[in-house]
Structure 1
Amino acid sequence: MSTPTDRARRGTPEDRARHGRAARKDVPRSAHALWLPPADRPDPVATLERQDRDRLPELRPVRYGRMTASPLSFLRGAAAVMAADLAAQPHTGLAVQLCGDAHLLNFGLHSSPERALLLDLRDFDETFPGPFEWDVKRLAASVAVAALENGHARARAREAARAAVTGYRTAMRRLAGLGELAVWYDRVDAGSLLPLVRSAGRRHGMNSSLTRARRRTSLPALGRLTEVVDGRLRIVHDPPLLEPAGPADMATLRKTFSDYRSTLTEERRHLLDRYRFVDAARKVVGVGGVGMRCFVVLLAGRDADDPLFLQIKEARTSVLEAHLPNGPYVHPGHRVVSGQRLLQAAPDLFLGWMSGPQGRAFYWRRLHDTKDCVEVAGLGPAALLGYARLCGTVLARAHARSGDRIAIAAYLGGSGGFDRAVAEFALTYADLTAADHAGLGAAVAAGVVTAEPGV
């Protein structure tokens, strides 16, 4: 499998399109529908337990508590399980920089440096170069799981999954006809959600998601995350989700802050130098990442009412790396940051990476930048279908920046055969996810793993 940019650097558009169409001989588009769990499929709970070996033990029950909440939550935390399943299938060899976890709940709203509100990918812990269809299948499967969880008929779930793939295919074909700069600056504005807001109605949460995202800046976060103690601003104590950093962690964070600073460009270092270090705390985030070391740092700029919250999160080997050729980055933090910069239309100004104690890799980013996700729970069939199609469009835009969009578009074609095949896969995988979720519940009931729900 060539690297994402290798083929895009050479050959005429006609040559690249022929290469994409030739990939159909190795993996016909209809073949994406055919998938059965192999007899020797690894036990999902055992796969999750292997990931626990170097996680903070006191937070493992929180992770399992979040994953047992629903099949959709299970799928979100089980990226390693799905990576192994996808690797058991033939793949096209048409490589892109994968998000690695293109789950429906990992799309959301965020603000560009110009304060434009965009719909984009928002989780890059598993980013790695690989075959484009792996991200598409994870998105489609999560859409099918969400639809069934919302009580939609199986035909509706298939239709919603197909809409995600159709959104991807039609966007990739559009992008294949554009020049390089036009592709690079392409983006999906949050205004694309407005028709869905009107059709879904307030009760389904889309309108509130847009409202929250527009209001969500560092100043409201200052009130939620901090308190005044002995006349000094401090991050609040809310165990186990938010706990003050101890003296040793605080000293380490101050040291690594300087190392992180060196990975920023000169003008961003200049901006960061206008802030001073105030406080830090350990923070629990996400589902699959619970138990990995994560901190939030409070900085102050002009005065106490000018805060900057940065998040420092441990970066580890991507779940995709066991199944694909070596990637270009040795440092996991560098991998995450570079992947985000490639995939996001307007990446965070403060993205950076460094190594911490015991050689652990970390990456830094801004904690609050008007991020929010659409509340998919309770969305009706029409609204979920529309949102799924938008997410497919976003994913195509992200992939087109690194992979050979012309070859991928030629492979996908204009008939919709790929869409139908992946939708069938998605429905099959939704059934498997329900069984895996039940298996985790059984493991909790048997005491194999401990879950702390509702945290």
Structure 2
Amino acid sequence: MADELVYQLVCSYQNRMQSYAGMGILDTWYDRITFDRLLKEETSPDIQKRIRRSIERAADRTSEALLPKLAELVGDKWTILDAPPAVFHVRGQHTLFDPDDDWMTAKNVDEVAVKVFKEYLGTLAPDRQRLLSHFTLHDRAFKVVGVGSVGTRCLIQLMIDSHGKPIFLQVKEAARSVVGRYFKCPAVAHEGRRVVEGQRLMQAASDLFLGWTKGPYGRHFYVRQLRDMKLSPQIELMDAEVLGKYAALCGWVLARAHAKSGGLAAEISGYLGTGDRMAEVMVGYSNSYADQVEKDYERFVAACRSGRLEARTEVDMAADFRV
């Protein structure tokens, strides 16, 4: 089944790239992959039902819907709720930072934060700056990031407008790219800017508040909304048919991003051709990658059992903070 999913993804990428190869660059930039478009192309009633359900779920994933789940009103100020180890105030009683961490030793955190936020505002268009000027800061806290960003810093900032409506901004650390570590690439002055400009170039519609800034200790960050009707597909709940459709969609999205950012859809399509060679190669690569992940995990488990590494489950860590 795994091989078939990879095959579907690669074939989708290949076919969509062939379509973009016949489009003008302006048409490619205007192209949108929308829910309505997915509904029109889908013939399965079950898949159509799932798409409509996703539309409903996405519409509910907003800062306003998140506010009562992530914060509480104390007097006239909203405060983010500590939920360690996932969310906690850096200098609060539930902090997981060591006393000598640079975030803990800063003399005036608020002053530093104002400077960092001001630099971020300078990367936005004037109309976005004006929009954010209607919001007032209420609270900020640390948020543990996902697997792809393990070890990096991330803050969430809660701001409220004059009508009591919220916006959650996420300030994520941007490390040096993997490509930049192993290949000779042009120098990058700001990793956060690299991430933002890459997203703006590849995405059809980037986050309204996408920008970048630099922390007081030299770390590079980029900023976006914490929730802006974004969806996280529950892959573990998908059957083979739905997972195959999702794989094909991923192939389409990737093809569009490459065609838009590089402007070389015809060259890429010509390189891939119309045969199965690329799909076969990627299936082999995927199997090798999966084997390597299993080997790495075995080494990780062995290191934990021997005491060389300390590992605790999220439930175990959370238990430390229960009263």
Q: Does 1:357 align with 2:216?
A: yes
The gaps in structure 2 that reach 5 residues or longer are: 92-106, 316-323
The whole-number CA distance in structure 2 between the counterparts of 1:345 and 1:277 is 30
* Among candidates 124, 127, 136, match of residue 267 of structure 1: 127
| Larger relative contact order, structure 1 or 2 (CA cutoff 8 Å, min sep 6) | 1
Residue 261 of structure 2 corresponds to 402
The whole-number CA distance in structure 2 between the counterparts of 1:302 and 1:284 is 30
Residue 338 of structure 1 corresponds to 197
The whole-number CA distance in structure 2 between the counterparts of 1:196 and 1:322 is 45
Maintained 8 Å contact 1:196/1:386? no
Maintained 8 Å contact 2:138/2:159? yes
In the alignment of these two chains, the number of paired residues is: 297
| 1:186-335 matched pairs, under 5 angstroms | 186-191=31-36, 195=42, 198-199=45-46, 209-246=54-91, 248-304=108-164, 306-327=165-186, 329-335=188-194
Identity %: 38
Q: C-alpha deviations, 1:350-407, integer Å up to 9, x for none?
A: 1111111122111111111011121111422222111101101100101111222111
SS in 2 for 1:357: coil
The whole-number CA distance in structure 1 between the counterparts of 2:28 and 2:311 is 44
Q: C-alpha deviations, 1:67-89, integer Å up to 9, x for none?
A: xxxxxxxxxxxxxxxxxxxxxxx
Q: C-alpha deviations, 1:15-53, integer Å up to 9, x for none?
A: xxxxxxxxxxxxxxxxxxxxxxxxxxxxxxxxxxxxxxx
| 1:3-18 matched pairs, under 5 angstroms | none
The whole-number CA distance in structure 2 between the counterparts of 1:297 and 1:259 is 15
Maintained 8 Å contact 1:280/1:296? yes
The whole-number CA distance in structure 2 between the counterparts of 1:350 and 1:444 is 41
| 1:109-128 matched pairs, under 5 angstroms | none
The whole-number CA distance in structure 2 between the counterparts of 1:157 and 1:380 is 12
* Among candidates 181, 194, 202, match of residue 26 of structure 2: 181
* Among candidates 435, 445, 455, match of residue 295 of structure 2: 435
Measure how far apart 1:198 and its partner are.
4.5
Distance 1:424 1:341, change over 3 A: same
SS in 2 for 1:288: helix
The whole-number CA distance in structure 1 between the counterparts of 2:187 and 2:18 is 28
The whole-number CA distance in structure 2 between the counterparts of 1:442 and 1:192 is 48
SS in 2 for 1:341: helix
Residue 373 of structure 1 corresponds to 232
Maintained 8 Å contact 1:206/1:374? no
| 1:419-430 matched pairs, under 5 angstroms | 419-430=279-290
SS in 2 for 1:434: helix
TM-score where L is the length of structure 1: 0.61
The whole-number CA distance in structure 1 between the counterparts of 2:288 and 2:153 is 35
